[in-house]
Structure 1
Amino acid sequence: MKKIITTIMFGILIYGNQYAQEETSTDSLKVRKNAIGVSFGTGFGFDYSRTLKKDKLYVTASYNTLVYSIDGIEQEISGEDLLVDTSLDFKNIDVKLSYHPFSNAFKIVGGIGFFSTNNINVITTFKENITVGEVEFNAADSGNLDINFDWSKTAPYVGLGFGRAVANKRLGFAFDFGSYISSSPEITLDATGIIEQTADQEGLLNESFESFKFIPYGSFRLSYSF
């Protein structure tokens, strides 16, 4: 009887080990067609991806946001000490295709971004009291310069990267680097106080930034495939 029990238990152990190996093998060979991910870099984003052709072509829909501000940057212009407040506000929905020409991690990415906001704002004020002729102006009352940059709401995207949108394993990661190709920014300038006359330089400012048509993008992405 002891030999029979030993034989049965030994058989159960062998079967259990084979079953576990089969389960692991099945999971590793499973074709995963969907993934959700989060990305960090030029802002924060989350996305959904779908396999169109395994190891070759994927489509991704994502939402990205970059909201950031720096206040009180000290700059000296024409001998005057200035305080500069800068804010960025970019929010967009993207639809992108990732193509892997060599069926490995390297990819070429193309798509389009739809921006609800794509704005940079710069406000400049005097740090200290200033004197014009014989008149001294208090820093708080001497005026400020408000410059606003707005790009077009729709912009194509091109880039390169490493990592599949839908990883072969459950967990994956990827790097993306590229740029949105937009129109030239529309710049508005508003000046108050003693520098109010500089508001007529708005046209010259738009000409100076006419070539700023690229909005760079870079990210590190973590994903879960299923």
Structure 2
Amino acid sequence: MKRNLLLLLMVSIGSISYGQSWDPDITEGQKSLSLQLGTQGIGLQFKYQLINNLSARAGFSILPVETDKVVQSFSNDTDDRLKASFTNAHLLLDYPIIGKSVRLVLGGAYFFKAEGTIESKAVEGFKLGDRQFTAEEIGMLVIRSDWKGLRPYGGLAFFRDFPKNKINVSLDLGLYNLGAPEVSTSSTGMLYLDETNRQRLEDNLKDYKWLPIIQLGINYKF
């Protein structure tokens, strides 16, 4: 009797575990194509079901951003233009951890382009002693930060792995570890960063090594 109860308990636990980790609507070889929109820009992604519990996806995304803003700097107005450009190709693996709707996502991406640029130029000239300097003589300072390279990713994906019919939506929340950027500067006039300030800038940018990802996917199963 005890053996029968123990066997029944083991079969029940196994059935529960099996039921939680396997979705009968998802079979090996399923494929989908996804339009991606979010903090890493716009992109396309192909997804393939490897086995019942594991799917792989490969894709790319592009993020071009540019803004202009006049800011107060060292008691003089400067016109600052901020640019950010990110282009990557990624490969990720999905594994379900809570039912059908929450998955652990691990992988990485190669960032062909991952840079931020600040172009700062004087709005007007200023007088120093007896000499008047024009905005053109003051010139423009350009600061570039580059995170290009292979970067790891970790995060969670929500909603169904594949559409039950033809179309569904999914949500990704995660982080890329970009590491510390390479910093370079150039100038066309009097504006410049000396070695001490350039090193200080590099030290400050070391904290900006995480790229948060909030990405919405519109998926089509074929």
For the criterion TM > 0.5, the same-fold answer is: yes
Displacement of 1:92 in angstroms is 0.5
Mapped pair 1:68 → 2:90: no
Displacement of 1:104 in angstroms is 1.7
Mapped pair 1:113 → 2:120: no
CA distance in 2, matches of 1:151, 1:64: 16
Deviations 1:157-199 (A, max 9, x none): 0112212342222101101111111220111112332223x24
Displacement of 1:103 in angstroms is 2.7
CA distance in 2, matches of 1:30, 1:116: 33
Identify the residue that residue 37 of structure 1 maps to in structure 2. 34
Mapped pair 1:46 → 2:44: yes
- Normalised to the residue count of structure 2, the TM-score between the two structures is 0.82
Supply the RMSD in Å over aligned alpha carbons: 1.9
2:84 partner amino acid: L
CA distance in 2, matches of 1:53, 1:41: 28
Unaligned runs of 5+ in 2: 1-23
| 2:153–2:175 contact (8 Å) kept in structure 1 | yes
Match of 1:216 among 208, 212, 215: 212
Match of 1:130 among 118, 126, 130: 126
Match of 2:173 among 174, 177, 188: 177
Runs of at least 4 residues off by over 3 Å: 28-32
Identify the residue that residue 59 of structure 1 maps to in structure 2. 56
Identify the residue that residue 85 of structure 2 maps to in structure 1. 89
Unaligned runs of 5+ in 1: 1-27
1:97 partner amino acid: L
- Identical-pair percentage: 22
> Which of 1 and 2 has greater Rg?
1
- Number of positions where the alignment pairs a residue of Structure 1 with one of Structure 2: 196
